[in-house]
Amino acid sequence: MQTVHRSLETISSMFSVFEKDQVLTHDQLNSVSDYLEDQDRLNRLYLTGVGVVAGLRPSLSGQQVQISKGLALTTDGDLLVLSKNAVFDRFRLYGVNAPEYAPFHPGGNALTLYELVAVGESVVDALPLSQFASTAGDPLSSFVVLFYMESYLKDDDICSGTDCDNLGKEAMHTPRILLVANSEAAGLLPDVATADKLADTLLPIAIPRVKLGTSINTTAQFATPYRNACNTLHNSIVQTLDLALQHGGPLFAEVISAASVNSAKSNLNALKQAFSTRHIGIQYYYSALTDIAAAWNEFQRTLIGHRQWLCPDSMTFAKHVLLGELVSNDEPVLRTPYYPSPAQDHDGQRQHLSFMLKRTLLLAQHADVPNTLSNIACTPECHQQSAVGERAVPHYFRAAAQPEIFRHWNYALFQKDRGLENYGYSAASLGASGPSANPLNFFIDQFGHFRIEGHIGKSAATTYASLKQLFANENLPVALQAVMLTVDHKNLFIKPKWQFSDLHRFHQVLRQDLVFQMDDVQKFSKTFKANVVDSVDRSLIVDSPNSSEAVRLKDTANTMDNQLVENTAVLKESLSKKYVDFREQQSWRSDLNKTMSVAGDYKFQLSNVVKTEFVTPFDSLISSPHIQWLDWVDLLIKDKDEKREKKATFPGFVKRNPGLSHTGGGPRGGTFVVVYDTSGVIVGDLSLPYWLEEDEDDAMDEPTLPRPNIKPGLVIDKGISLLPPRTKVVKDWFKVDIEPDWTTKLNQHVGYFDVFKNSITTMGEVFTNLEKRTIDIKNVKPSVSNQALDLLLKEQQVKAEKIELMRNQMLDVDMPDDKRTNLKEDIKKAEAELAKSLEETTRFVAANNLDLTAGGDGQKAMTMVKTQSSILVDSTAIKNFNSGVDKLGREFSGNASFGKVFGVLKI
């Protein structure tokens, strides 16, 4: 059997150069064509690429196979082309007399192939595709389309008895569309070691997330979740490096080697050992590992789709390409990919891959976390979700390797050998200039994150102040917070910011009110003392200004006034302080207690000669509730401050902000959180994606509160009248009014007795009408769950209280007769309304069949109806109520439990 001719099986390396009048042989002529053809095919193979370039998509439509126009290249340099969409409606068995093509005879067994025949093409033995399933034994949907270049040398024997002109052969190249079963097509796919295929073996590194709980309150507890994550990540990176050496070595031999991988693993193992017991800085060990993993993942993702094939083997798929399954919902699996030549890598993708692998190895070889850094620095960079090369170069890579790290950090800058234009902690020390040396002096709006370094292991208080000053001086769009790893908020090194809240303002109002009260007490005391002295001197309240009582009164007034002036002055000084100073001293309570005692004793000592006309400043001070309010508000402020301080402990802060994470800085518009331990040393940092800086108010900004000009002077100066003692009044009255005209006064008293008698008669009538009232109706209404019933009971209660109020008015003995008559009529009307309301409540309970057992809404309502019906005294109201109860009894006669209630309700 004839075999397929592979043009590149033997590559021509020479051709003949002809001379004038030279007689040419067939070898000389063929050498020229062979050389040119081989060079043309090699050009496609090595400089263009191989595989299906574009188009050539097969599909099944009814009983026809359609293939879109397109082109492909075989590894023998054949160009397979369909210049327009092709439709095939027939088929025939292929391979009976076809030249032998090795891939079609795996293991010496020939594949069963079918050739598709295009619409309109004349082929005698072709069958319609409707008969394909019955012929092949499987439906079309289980076959793959194959584009095949059938190449062979044809040697026709055209000799006759008298002539034999058959010198020379014809090179035949016939493109054919074949069908091969899905199960056999996989063997016709090439197995090429490309970067894309490597991506199936070298997988991304999963970076474990650190979750911080509210139970963390020590440095060791804080480090534990990071250590666990680092151990997991360390193992993944080491395993990945081993796989990269094993499978990626052939493709990236210029970058990766056993020595480079072993160097990286050795460094990573040393770091793991160091941080098995080291707590401070472990976050940056975690950051270093995540950067290594992120750099690897960028490399791994870039591998995908990168199918460049350097110097393909011409025997791989010399004469065929697979176009894919006839029925496929997604991208066909059994389709020969296109493998472009490295010469087509115009964007340097291959170089980019080598760069990223080199960067990953460098980071792993030189990761190093120093205990402290000399300077605190803030470097703007792109968001953490950005590519590694778009961020700033961090400090946690060995100082000696920093120049190489900067050079291999960003690919675009690497191509131009401008690595020092990368931003980073060490940029200035490496000799960088311009923005990379002093980035905060230049435009930073394009950056979404600010890397903050140099604070770990330093004093929390001083470093926090330095960071705060840095943020303010550089106008950084990041808030700053500090939290302590503790559960005891009382020992915070960095207290929450002062906040002058509404509670503080109210506290100031109360203090200022007491200050004004002290002014009033002082002024009133002076006036009171002067009045006492004047009244004594004029014998208005004593028999003689020289009597012992007169001396006592004057001494008391002077002593008490002096004490009040002294005490109120001390109190005013304390109360006038700003809150931050006021809360530090506690003597004001005892001073206020003394002042109130003196004011009360002042009035008590002179109570025999004093009449209070209205509330005086003494009375206001003694009875003022503001004194209690001051303590209560102070307690509320302290409680609020304690809660704010608890929020500055790590457990309290995490509870309020569960989204904390370590990013090595703070995002634009977010919050950078410094974490320190009980010794006051910074052990870590976190960030939040939102602004969390509390407003700070200056404690010295308490506004001055002027005294309201509302109270008239007499309210402060007056309020107490000085009167003679009762004994003096009675004695003077008896001498002046009784003794001179005893008989006249007795007659007058007889008249007074008659008036009193008439008054008693009137009162009798009132009390007779109130005879039945033996309860306090104000406390009758019970609590019920039915809202409609509750409204009825409230209305009933209001009407009962209205009757109570009017009956109390009837007790006024001085009420005119006409008014008393009108009031009696109003009471009758009110009783009629109450009787009607009692009937409505009873109807509601019965109609809704409310619970009459003890504690039920129905029982409570009926008890109230019975209680309030007892205050009815008007006969008409009582008659109407009883009539209504009888009517309800007939209406709800079918309800036995309510029948008993109706019998009890009647008056």
Largest CA distance in the chain: 194
Of 59, 71, 52, which Cα lies nearest the Cα of 189?
Answer: 52
Q: What is the Cα–Cα distance from 396 to 402, expressed in whole angstroms?
A: 10
State whether residue 117 is helix, strand or coil.
strand
Of 864, 853, 833, which Cα lies nearest the Cα of 898?
Answer: 853
Q: What is the Cα–Cα distance from 279 to 678, expressed in whole angstroms?
A: 14
Sheet of strand 449-453, all strands in order from the earlier edge strand to the far edge: 377-381, 449-453, 665-667
Amino acid 215: pLDDT? 95
More confident residue, 746 or 669: 669
pTM over 0.85: no
Amino acid 705: pLDDT? 84
More confident residue, 721 or 825: 825
Give long-range contacts, CB 8 A cutoff, 24+ apart: 197-204: 198/247, 198/248, 198/251, 198/303, 199/300, 199/301, 199/303, 199/304, 201/243, 201/247, 202/240, 202/243, 202/244, 202/247, 202/248, 202/300, 202/303, 203/240, 203/300, 204/296, 204/297, 204/300, 204/301
Angle at alpha carbon of residue 510, lines to 504 and 515, rounded to 5°:
125
**Pairing mode of beta strands 377-381, 170-181:** unpaired
Q: What burial letters (b/e) apply to 765-798, b meaning 16+ CB within 10 Å?
A: eeeeeeeebeeebeebbeebebeebbebbeebbe
Amino acid 167: pLDDT? 62
Across the chain, what does the average pLDDT equal? Answer: 86
Token representation of residue 142 = 């289980």
Token representation of residue 19 = 């001379």
Q: Which residue has the tokens 């991506």?
A: 199
Measure Cα distances from 333 to 145, 147, 182, 189 in Å.
12, 16, 10, 10
Q: What is the Cα–Cα distance from 581 to 603, expressed in whole angstroms?
A: 34
Q: What is the Cα–Cα distance from 900 to 895, expressed in whole angstroms?
A: 9
Give the number of other CB atoms < 10 A from CB of residue 834: 25
Bridge partners for 684 per DSSP: 675
Q: Is 768 a residue whose pLDDT tops 80?
A: no
SS3 annotation, 471-507: HHHCCCCCEEEEEECCCCHHHCCCCCCCCCCHHHHHH
Question: Tens digits of per-residue pLDDT, 450-503?
Answer: 999 999 999 999 999 999 999 999 999 999 999 999 998 888 888 887 677 888
Q: What is the Cα–Cα distance from 438 to 451, expressed in whole angstroms?
A: 14
Q: What is the DSSP letter of 493?
A: S
Token representation of residue 55 = 């188009």
Q: What is the Cα–Cα distance from 580 to 596, expressed in whole angstroms?
A: 25
What are the backbone dihedrals phi and psi of residue 92, each rounded to the nearest 5 degrees, phi first? -155, 160
Q: What is the Cα–Cα distance from 293 to 224, expressed in whole angstroms?
A: 20
Question: Tens digits of per-residue pLDDT, 646-663?
Answer: 888 999 999 999 999 999
CB neighbour list of residue 669: distance below 8 Å, 6 or more residues apart: 477, 478, 689, 690, 691
Q: Among 109-113, 345-349, 882-886, which is the least confidently predicted range?
A: 345-349
**Sequence ranges of the domains in the chain:** 1-156+166-191+308-336, 489-648+715-745, 787-905
Q: Is 753 a residue whose pLDDT tops 70?
A: no
Question: Tens digits of per-residue pLDDT, 349-403?
Answer: 889 999 999 999 999 999 999 999 999 999 999 988 899 999 999 999 998 899 9
Q: Among 23-32, 33-42, 740-749, 876-885, which is the least confidently predicted range?
A: 740-749
Q: Is 770 a residue whose pLDDT tops 50?
A: no
Token representation of residue 335 = 């389709």
Q: Is 698 a residue whose pLDDT tops 50?
A: yes
Q: What is the DSSP letter of 738?
A: I
Of 397, 422, 427, which Cα lies nearest the Cα of 664?
Answer: 397
Q: Which residue has the tokens 């309860």?
A: 775
Amino acid 750: pLDDT? 45
Amino acid 379: pLDDT? 96
More confident residue, 772 or 336: 336
Q: 282 with 275: CB under 8 angstroms?
A: yes
HSE (side-chain half, CA atoms, 13 Å) at 136? 26
Token representation of residue 606 = 């002179």
Q: Is 789 a residue whose pLDDT tops 60?
A: yes
Assign 737 a pLDDT band (cuts: 50, 70, 90): low
Q: Is 814 a residue whose pLDDT tops 80?
A: no
Q: What is the Cα–Cα distance from 205 to 297, expressed in whole angstroms?
A: 6
Q: 94 with 62: CB under 8 angstroms?
A: no
Token representation of residue 66 = 């359609």
Amino acid 277: pLDDT? 95
Token representation of residue 387 = 């590519």
Q: What is the Cα–Cα distance from 514 to 482, expressed in whole angstroms?
A: 39
More confident residue, 19 or 287: 287
Quick one: average pLDDT of 747-755? 46
Assign 230 a pLDDT band (cuts: 50, 70, 90): very high
State whether residue 348 is helix, strand or coil.
coil
Of 658, 654, 646, 644, which Cα lies nearest the Cα of 216?
Answer: 654
Instruction: Give me the helices (H) in 538-586, please.
Output: 548-575, 579-582
Q: Which residue has the tokens 């690497």?
A: 414
Q: Which residue has the tokens 């590894």?
A: 75
State whether residue 108 is helix, strand or coil.
helix
Token representation of residue 805 = 């109020």
Amino acid 131: pLDDT? 94
Q: Among 24-33, 445-454, 635-644, 768-777, which is the least confidently predicted range?
A: 768-777
Amino acid at 749: H
What are the backbone dihedrals phi and psi of residue 649, each rounded to the nearest 5 degrees, phi first? -85, 155
Q: 285 with 228: CB under 8 angstroms?
A: no
Bridge partners for 127 per DSSP: 91
User: What is the helix (H) or strand (E) element at residue 482, kind and residue range?
Assistant: strand 479-484
Q: Among 206-215, 580-589, 610-619, which is the least confidently predicted range?
A: 610-619
Token representation of residue 422 = 């990368």
CB neighbour list of residue 370: distance below 8 Å, 6 or more residues apart: 281, 395, 396
Q: What is the Cα–Cα distance from 557 to 71, expressed in whole angstroms?
A: 121
- Name, of 283-297, 713-727, 735-749, the range with top average pLDDT: 283-297
Amino acid 317: pLDDT? 94
HSE (side-chain half, CA atoms, 13 Å) at 157? 1
CB neighbour list of residue 453: distance below 8 Å, 6 or more residues apart: 373, 376, 377, 378, 379, 394, 395, 425, 664, 665
- Count of helices and strands (H, E) across the chain: 26, 20
Q: What is the Cα–Cα distance from 417 to 408, expressed in whole angstroms?
A: 9
SS3 annotation, 596-660: HHHHHHHHHHCHHHEEECCCCHHHHHHHCCHHHHHHHHHHHHHHHHHHHHHCCEHHHHHHHCCCC
State whether residue 48 is helix, strand or coil.
helix
Q: What percent of the chain stands above pLDDT 90?
A: 49
Strands (DSSP E) found in 654-762: 665-667, 671-676, 682-688, 720-722
Token representation of residue 445 = 């709006």
More confident residue, 725 or 128: 128
Angle at alpha carbon of residue 275, lines to 273 and 277, rounded to 5°:
95
Q: What is the Cα–Cα distance from 134 to 129, expressed in whole angstroms?
A: 10
State whether residue 362 is helix, strand or coil.
helix
User: What is the helix (H) or strand (E) element at residue 774, kind and residue range?
Assistant: none
Q: What is the Cα–Cα distance from 273 to 701, expressed in whole angstroms?
A: 55
CB neighbour list of residue 424: distance below 8 Å, 6 or more residues apart: 379, 392, 393, 394, 395, 402, 406, 409, 436
Bridge partners for 834 per DSSP: none
Question: Tens digits of per-residue pLDDT, 543-579?
Answer: 677 788 888 888 988 998 999 999 999 988 888 888 8
CA 249 from centroid of its chain's CA atoms: 45
Amino acid at 551: V
Angle at alpha carbon of residue 77, lines to 75 and 83, rounded to 5°:
110
Amino acid 776: pLDDT? 52
User: What is the helix (H) or strand (E) element at residue 376, kind and residue range?
Assistant: none
What are the backbone dihedrals phi and psi of residue 228, each rounded to the nearest 5 degrees, phi first? -60, -45
Amino acid 166: pLDDT? 59
Token representation of residue 211 = 């979750």
Assign 295 a pLDDT band (cuts: 50, 70, 90): very high
